[in-house]
């Protein structure tokens, strides 16, 4: 697998030269139902090929019948870090987060428009072969993963482990079993645990149980920044079961049960919300005591939004920087200024202070649950999960001087005495030190 493959969705200015994705331009396609025999993992269950250990997706063999809790999928970055897959990641030595995903032949029963795992793909691709945040997810026995990391957790490259639940009737029970398998081998104090939840099937008691079993942080993937975008991309608009109100109910349960700084929400930037709307949500989460974990919209191949433009870098950088200021620097959205399109025009800080924060570069790294380096440096580095490496949205490493010159140009804050030179960052191949 290479992450430098050609991309058909390089972000630039939107239609009419716009530097943001407006609501009207971000309408998903309508999902089509798969033929009866191909629904619910019919092809895999009928062939019923027994699994024989690690399964690499799209490998020209029949997809085996694999199920959680015995099997989980893990990101390509985690598989490379564990030595399960060969490969190198552009400017990254490893990933710091072991992202696990529950797996079933029936797959996720939701139909989120931006997601490669969505149900409408049943006819086209078996669940274990579907791309998700731009990469393949190999399937591996959970016991093998836990035993491998558990052999020396103190010296593991992983700073955190995260279980991603999906929408499936078994996912609550199986998340508990996967968690138990992990904690039987790995002390949660050595490698903290995060849960990326599926509120649609969960109760408050489920949230309590996951905390009692050793989880450190609980997150809710709101993904959409407004109720309208939520309904259009994850609810009735695409025949998907999710409800904005249920997601907020579980988020509030997580706030009560996990406590301050131990809960958060995922939000995708550029699906039609304004910058003012998304930053108001970021402020709301901070005021509740939580964090926001941000992703740049990228048109995932095979998804119902794969024909739509990736988020222009101008919009993304403004929101990335403003979100960092609200989450970690005590700036409030009320101090910021916006234009008539809801774009940030003033970040609410004196120029000198803002310059120092831009030059520190952390604001432009991936955001997510923290690792062992610093509170504001995410363990969840998701290398190239929201962009190609040739036009990085979320940096999975500390941005270097050429990266920062590009970021400044994208923000409209290029320095006259230190201008960006076209493609200079592509000359760098080494991994920056932490």
Question: Binding residues for ligand SF4, per CB under 6 A?
Answer: 108, 110, 112, 115, 117-118, 166-167
Tell me the closest approach of the beta carbon of residue 28 to ligand SF4, in angstroms.
Answer: 12
Q: E-assigned strands of 247-365? A: 263-269, 291-296, 337-338, 344-346
Q: In this complex, which beta carbon is closest to ligand SF4, that of residue 149 or of residue 166?
A: 166
The CA distance from 100 to 163, in Å, is 5
Q: In this complex, which beta carbon is closest to ligand SF4, that of residue 246 or of residue 409?
A: 246
Q: In this complex, which beta carbon is closest to ligand SF4, that of residue 112 or of residue 392?
A: 112
Tell me the closest approach of the beta carbon of residue 202 to ligand SF4, in angstroms.
Answer: 12
Tell me the closest approach of the beta carbon of residue 110 to ligand SF4, in angstroms.
Answer: 4
Note the Cα 183 to chain centre separation in Å: 24
Q: In this complex, which beta carbon is closest to ligand SF4, that of residue 77 or of residue 362?
A: 77
Tell me the closest approach of the beta carbon of residue 8 to ligand SF4, in angstroms.
Answer: 21
Q: In this complex, which beta carbon is closest to ligand SF4, that of residue 186 or of residue 296?
A: 296
The residues, any chain, with a CB within 8 Å of residue 391's CB and separated by 6 or more, are: 10, 11, 313
Q: In this complex, which beta carbon is closest to ligand SF4, that of residue 166 or of residue 285?
A: 166
Tell me the closest approach of the beta carbon of residue 228 to ligand SF4, in angstroms.
Answer: 17
The CA distance from 144 to 71, in Å, is 9
Tell me the closest approach of the beta carbon of residue 420 to ligand SF4, in angstroms.
Answer: 35
Tell me the closest approach of the beta carbon of residue 42 to ligand SF4, in angstroms.
Answer: 19
Q: In this complex, which beta carbon is closest to ligand SF4, that of residue 133 or of residue 186?
A: 133
Burial of residue 422 (CB within 10 Å: 0-12, 13-18, 19+) is exposed
Given the structure tokens 């530097």, which residue do they identify? 19
Strands 263-269 and 291-296: parallel
Structure tokens at 377: 């440096």
Tell me the closest approach of the beta carbon of residue 167 to ligand SF4, in angstroms.
Answer: 5
Closest C-alpha to 128, from 144, 145, 104: 104
Tell me the closest approach of the beta carbon of residue 104 to ligand SF4, in angstroms.
Answer: 11
| CA distance readout (Å), 145 to 78, 110, 159, 189 | 10, 27, 15, 18
User: Around Cβ 402, how many Cβ atoms within 10 Å?
Assistant: 16
Q: In this complex, which beta carbon is closest to ligand SF4, that of residue 112 or of residue 406?
A: 112
Tell me the closest approach of the beta carbon of residue 117 to ligand SF4, in angstroms.
Answer: 4
Burial of residue 197 (CB within 10 Å: 0-12, 13-18, 19+) is buried
197 within 8 A of 369, measured Cβ to Cβ: no
Burial of residue 190 (CB within 10 Å: 0-12, 13-18, 19+) is middle
Return the CA Rg of the chain. 21
Q: In this complex, which beta carbon is closest to ligand SF4, that of residue 166 or of residue 344?
A: 166
Q: In this complex, which beta carbon is closest to ligand SF4, that of residue 230 or of residue 395?
A: 230
The CA distance from 207 to 179, in Å, is 13
Q: Report the length, in residues, of the chain.
A: 434
């Amino acid at each position: 697998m290479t992450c430098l493959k050609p991309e058909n969705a390089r972000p630039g200015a939107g239609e009419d030269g716009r530097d943001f994705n407006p609501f009207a331009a971000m309408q998903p396609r309508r999902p089509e139902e798969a033929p009866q025999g191909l629904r619910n993992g019919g092809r895999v269950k009928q062939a019923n090929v027994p699994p024989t250990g690690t399964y690499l997706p799209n490998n020209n063999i029949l997809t085996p019948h694999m199920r959680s809790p015995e099997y989980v999928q893990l990101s390509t970055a985690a598989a490379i870090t564990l030595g399960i897959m060969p490969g190198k990641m552009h400017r990254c030595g490893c990933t710091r987060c072991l992202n696990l995903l529950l797996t079933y032949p029936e797959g996720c029963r939701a139909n989120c428009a931006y997601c490669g795992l969505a149900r409408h793909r049943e006819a086209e691709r078996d669940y274990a072969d579907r791309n998700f945040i731009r990469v393949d997810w190999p399937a591996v026995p959970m016991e093998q993963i836990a035993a491998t990391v558990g052999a020396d957790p103190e010296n593991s490259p992983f700073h955190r482990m995260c279980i991603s639940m999906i929408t499936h009737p078994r996912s609550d029970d199986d998340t508990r079993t996967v968690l138990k398998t992990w904690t039987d081998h790995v002390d949660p104090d050595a490698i903290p645990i995060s849960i990326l939840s599926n509120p649609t099937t969960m109760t408050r008691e489920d949230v309590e149980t996951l905390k009692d079993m050793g989880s450190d942080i609980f997150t809710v993937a709101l993904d959409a920044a407004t109720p309208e975008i939520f309904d259009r991309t994850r609810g009735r608009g695409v025949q998907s079961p999710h409800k904005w109100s249920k997601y907020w109910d579980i988020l509030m349960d997580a706030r009560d049960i996990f406590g301050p700084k131990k809960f958060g929400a995922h939000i995708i930037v550029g699906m039609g919300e304004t910058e003012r709307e998304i930053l108001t949500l970021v402020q709301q989460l901070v005021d509740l005591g939580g964090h926001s974990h941000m992703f740049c919209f990228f048109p995932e191949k095979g998804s119902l939004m794969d024909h739509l433009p990736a988020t222009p870098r101008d919009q993304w950088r403004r929101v990335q920087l403003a979100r960092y200021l609200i989450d970690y620097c005590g700036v409030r959205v009320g101090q910021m200024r916006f234009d008539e399109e809801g774009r940030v025009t003033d970040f609410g800080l004196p120029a000198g202070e803002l310059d120092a924060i831009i030059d520190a570069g952390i604001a432009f790294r991936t955001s997510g649950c923290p690792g062992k380096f610093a509170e504001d440096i995410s363990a969840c580095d998701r290398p190239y999960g929201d962009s190609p490496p040739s036009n990085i949205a979320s940096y999975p490493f500390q941005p270097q001087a050429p990266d920062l010159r590009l970021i400044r140009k994208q923000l409209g804050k290029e320095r006259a005495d230190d201008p960006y030179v076209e493609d200079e960052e592509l000359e760098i191949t080494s991994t920056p030190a932490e």
